[in-house]
Amino acid sequence: MRGWRRARLTGRTKQTATGRTLVFEVPRWPGHRPGQHVDVRLTAADGYQAVRSYSLAAPADGERVELGVQAAPGGEVSPYLADDLPVGAEVEVTGPLGGWFVWTPQEAGPLLLLAGGSGIVPLMAMVRARLASPSDEPCTLLHSVRSPDDVWYAAELDAAAAARHVRVRHLWTRAAPEGAARPVGRLTGADLRDLPPPADCRCFVCGPTGFVEHAGDLLLAAGYAPGRIRTERFG
């Protein structure tokens, strides 16, 4: 049987029009690895329960647990978490969950992270862990988003990109900022040129199913080894 823990919402930050960072305090949280997720359980007054998965957005930090929630239009749980759950209120979480889509700074080699929309959330935990580690091996994040208004963690990623070994590139799919060199459109093979050499690179891909499948195909075509590509679909 899974163990559920009380999780108290201590803060909410707007990332985009529909994306929010939620910070919870979870007593006796056991810690986790970048890439893992939790299941969040909501219980209504009449006993009805709903459970959804949310990725951990930051490396382990005591009882502080950070999630990133994209409000899905018409969704049952995500719009409530994103905007309605009051700060100070409690939900339940179980986890950490997932043992495949994980990375720790002890793993050597370059990192290539491909995110579609809110798929950035678990990859942000990896970027933060890499920045906090002494390693100066290359870490490249490609984030596919509709427009500059849809960028998550904008200030933090700008600062991260100033680090010598971290590269952050946004791929605009609908509207680009003025002067952007890359044409607007979805990820293509051309976006993977000039990246860490395939041989020893670890790749993590996260986002909607269509994005993940497309990105995985492009990575294979570019010579990245199947065993070094790990994917997570948000559905």
Task: State the residues that interact with ligand FAD by CB under 6 A.
Answer: 37, 52-55, 68-70, 72-78, 118, 121, 232, 234-235
- Under 8 Å between Cβ of 99 and 37: no
**Smallest separation (angstroms) from ligand FAD to the CB of 40:** 8
| Beta carbon nearer to ligand FAD, 78 or 173 | 78
Which residue number is nearest to ligand FAD in terms of Cβ?
A: 75
Nearer to ligand FAD, 74 or 227 (CB): 74
Cβ neighbourhood burial of 154 (10 Å; 0-12, 13-18, 19+): middle
Q: Which is nearer to ligand FAD, 118 or 173 (CB)?
A: 118
DSSP string spanning the chain? -PPPEEEEEEEEEE-SSSEEEEEEE-TT-----TT-EEEEEEE-TTS-EEEEEEEB-S--BTTEEEEEEE--TT-SSHHIIIIISPTT-EEEEEEEE-SSS---TTS-S-EEEEEEGGGHHHHHHHHHHHHHSS--S-EEEEEEESSGGG-SSHHHHHHHHTSTTEEEEEEESS---TT-SSPSSS--GGGGTTSS-STT-EEEEEESHHHHHHHHHHHHHTT--GGGEEEEE--
User: Which one, 195 or 212, has the nearer CB to ligand FAD?
Assistant: 212
Which residue, 12 or 165, is less far from ligand FAD as judged by CB?
12
Give the shortest CB-141-to-ligand FAD separation in angstroms.
16
CB of 36 to ligand FAD, least distance (A): 9
Q: Nearest approach, Cβ of 17 to ligand FAD (angstroms)?
A: 14
Question: Taking the complex as a whole, how short is the minimal distance between the CB of residue 229 and ligand FAD, in angstroms?
Answer: 17
Cβ-based nearer residue to ligand FAD, 10 or 53: 53
Residue 164 CB, shortest distance to ligand FAD, in Å, is 29
